[in-house]
């Protein structure tokens, strides 16, 4: 089954404790992206990757890092989490950035992160 | 500055009636507009899209209308069903060149639709 898988789905952590949210897709997609969803703010892009070893900042990259060492994985790293990073995070992938406009951006089920 | 705006946080409609969700945008370079639907505890899923060269696109009960001069689009759901109750996100894309944020989606804040039986 074609899917985007995120882990963990739920996490409660404390300020400053490094964490990684993993994202994996099995569709051989070139494009991958991370979004966060916050009440009243909708979905905002954190980072995206056009292909292996190619990443770029989205609209809200502060406090986050990503890597794209292989095509299927795109982990989101919070080196020193803070309470304002409490949010619902979504990973998404697409065959290529050109496929996005056709609606072919597929989202994972989300990871709810709470930073105390 | 918000480039894609959904000014109604919520909408309540009776089953069988029409639901109209609105979206405004500011960037005239957007060339595709999309609607995504999101249920609780799930990721957003694509619903329908429209190219900027069209003014209407229809898919079953869902129709999206685009008014470029007003920089406004709307999603019509007819007839509305209880299963349509979800958060609907309007999104816009510029697919022109590689680099920068080209090809990425910019989302509105979402409108929560409740369809009552």
Determine if the peptide bond prior to B79 is cis (ω within 30°). Answer: yes
Please report which confidence band the pLDDT of residue B29 belongs to, taking 50, 70 and 90 as the band edges: confident
Q: Do B41 and A43 touch (CB under 8 A)?
A: no
**Any chain B CB within 8 A of the CB of A104?**
yes
User: Residue B96: its pLDDT value, please?
Assistant: 56
Q: Which pair of tokens denotes residue A86? A: 């409490």
Interface of B with A in 19-78 (CB under 8 A): 31-32, 34, 41-49, 51
CA distance A71 to A69: 7
Instruction: Kindly state the greatest CA–CA separation across chain B.
Output: 47
Contact between residue A8 and residue A19 where contact means Cβ atoms under 8 Å apart: no
Q: Do A105 and B46 touch (CB under 8 A)?
A: yes
Residue range B47-84, pLDDT digits in tens:
999 999 999 999 999 999 999 999 999 999 999 999 99
Interface of B with A in 78-117 (CB under 8 A): 89, 91, 93, 95, 98, 100-110
CA angle B25, B28, B34 (to 5 degrees): 55
User: Residue A40: its pLDDT value, please?
Assistant: 86
Q: B101 φ, ψ to 5°? A: -105, 15
CA distance A2 to A17: 33
Residue range A79-108, pLDDT digits in tens:
999 999 999 999 999 998 888 888 899 999
Where does residue A72 fall: left (phi above 0), alpha (psi -120 to 50 degrees), or beta otherwise?
A: alpha
The percent helix, strand, coil of chain B (3-state, each to 5) is 5, 50, 45
Give bridge partners of residue B72 from the DSSP assignment.
Answer: B24, B67
Contact between residue B21 and residue B38 where contact means Cβ atoms under 8 Å apart: no
Q: Do B102 and A90 touch (CB under 8 A)?
A: no
User: Residue B66: its pLDDT value, please?
Assistant: 98
Residue range A44-54, pLDDT digits in tens:
999 999 999 99
Q: Which residue in chain A has the smallest CA separation from B98?
A: A97
């Amino acid at each position: 089954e074609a899917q985007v898988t995120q882990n963990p789905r739920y996490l409660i952590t404390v300020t400053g404790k490094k964490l990684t949210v993993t994202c994996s897709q099995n569709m051989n997609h070139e494009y991958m992206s991370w979004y966060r969803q916050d009440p009243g703010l909708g979905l905002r892009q954190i980072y995206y990757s056009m292909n292996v070893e190619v990443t770029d900042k989205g609209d809200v990259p502060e406090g986050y890092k990503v890597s794209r060492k292989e095509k299927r994985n795109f982990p989101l790293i919070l080196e020193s989490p803070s309470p304002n990073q409490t949010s619902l995070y979504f990973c998404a992938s697409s065959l290529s950035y050109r496929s996005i406009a056709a609606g072919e951006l597929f989202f994972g089920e989300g990871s709810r992160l709470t930073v105390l | 500055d918000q480039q894609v705006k959904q000014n109604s946080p919520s909408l309540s409609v009776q089953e069988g009636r029409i639901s109209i969700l609105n979206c405004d945008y500011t960037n005239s370079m957007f060339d595709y507009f999309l609607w995504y639907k999101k249920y609780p505890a799930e990721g957003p899923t694509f619903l329908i899209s429209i190219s900027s060269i069209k003014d209407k696109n229809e898919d079953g009960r869902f129709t999206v209308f685009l008014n470029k001069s007003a920089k406004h689009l709307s999603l019509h759901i007819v007839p509305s069903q209880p299963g349509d109750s979800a958060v609907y996100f309007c999104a816009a894309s510029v697919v022109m060149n590689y680099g920068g944020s080209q090809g990425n989606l910019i989302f509105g804040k979402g409108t929560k639709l409740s369809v009552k039986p």
